[in-house]
């Protein structure tokens, strides 16, 4: 017999009634997210200076990071100088994005910008098997100006380009980035959820310290990166 706590067992009619009640709340949350997205589309924006970043092919203006598109999503990846393995949260989060070409149909692009020197950043990209396009702001104040300074945390920023002029339209960090990935969306569907101590779960549900189940950067590299990484 299982020693793990289990949800109560009921007949199909009772289960459907409970699911229908939850669905009302799920629908309300969906409508609220639609309303938030509508408000996001109405946000004002801020004009950005003409930054120069470092890319795989050398210096590149921020306006050219758009690669001809009018919209740009930037993930500001945490970076710790001299470390072989960078932030596991950033490494794991960005490893989700392997097929971004669909954004072409929306005139948009999604890239990574990090404080790490471009050579080190590209080496790390290969080490962990990341498939996104990386840029460095090590020689620019861009990262610091959009909420991701040297030694600081991660962030997501969105920009709009009008000719050679770039505007910042949205920003988030912390748990605000969760909506962009599928990892937690899938895990939150499971009966036991994330199994982290901070979560509101029934008595007896398996729970572990926060982050303890997350894959580390070395594990991600072993699964997706260069052989021998």
pLDDT band at 3 (very low <50, low <70, confident <90, very high): low
Predicted confidence (pLDDT) at residue 71 exceeds the cutoff of 50: yes
Predicted confidence (pLDDT) at residue 160 exceeds the cutoff of 60: yes
Average pLDDT over residues 89-105: 96
Alpha helices (H) in 42-158, listed in sequence order:
62-65, 88-94, 118-128, 142-145
State the pLDDT at residue 227: 66
State the pLDDT at residue 104: 98
State the pLDDT at residue 63: 98
Token couple for 141: 């104040």
Token couple for 53: 């970043």
Average pLDDT over residues 158-186: 96
What's the CA gap between 132 and 99, in Å, rounded?
9
Average pLDDT over residues 192-214: 94
Predicted confidence (pLDDT) at residue 2 exceeds the cutoff of 90: no
Average pLDDT, the chain: 95
State the pLDDT at residue 226: 77
Query: Which residues are CB-neighbours of 155 under 8 A, at least 6 positions away?
Result: 75, 76, 146, 147, 148, 171, 172, 173
State the pLDDT at residue 1: 45
Identify which of 158, 18, 178 has the alpha carbon closest to the alpha carbon of residue 93.
178
pLDDT band at 143 (very low <50, low <70, confident <90, very high): very high
Task: Encode pLDDT of 19-58 as tens digits.
Answer: 999 999 999 999 999 999 999 999 999 999 999 999 999 9
Contact 128, 217 (CB under 8 A): yes
Average pLDDT over residues 117-146: 97
Distances, alpha carbon 11 to alpha carbons 8, 14, 17, in Å: 10, 5, 10
Which has the minimum average pLDDT: 32-36, 71-75, 164-168, 203-207?
Answer: 203-207
């Amino acid at each position: 017999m299982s020693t793990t706590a289990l949800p109560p067992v009921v007949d199909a009619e009772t289960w459907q009634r409970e699911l229908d009640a939850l669905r009302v709340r799920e629908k309300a949350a969906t409508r609220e997210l639609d309303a938030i997205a509508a408000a996001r589309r109405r946000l004002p924006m801020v004009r950005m200076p003409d930054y120069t970043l470092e890319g795989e092919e050398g210096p590149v203006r921020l306006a050219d990071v758009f690669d001809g598109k009018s919209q740009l999503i930037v993930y500001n990846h945490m970076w710790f100088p001299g470390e072989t393995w960078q932030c596991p949260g950033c490494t794991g989060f960005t490893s989700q994005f392997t097929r971004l070409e669909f954004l072409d149909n929306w005139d948009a692009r999604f890239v990574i910008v990090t404080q790490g020197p471009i050579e080190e950043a590209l080496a790390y990209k290969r080490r962990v098997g990341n498939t996104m396009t990386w840029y460095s702001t090590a020689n620019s104040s861009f990262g610091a100006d959009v909420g991701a300074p040297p030694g600081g945390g991660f962030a997501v920023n969105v920009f709009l380009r009008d000719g050679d002029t770039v505007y910042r339209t949205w920003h988030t960090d912390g748990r605000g980035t969760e909506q962009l990935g599928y990892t937690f969306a899938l895990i939150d569907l499971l009966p036991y959820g994330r199994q982290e101590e901070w979560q509101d779960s029934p008595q007896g549900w398996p729970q572990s310290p926060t982050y303890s189940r997350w894959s580390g950067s070395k594990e991600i590299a072993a699964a997706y990166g260069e052989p021998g990484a």
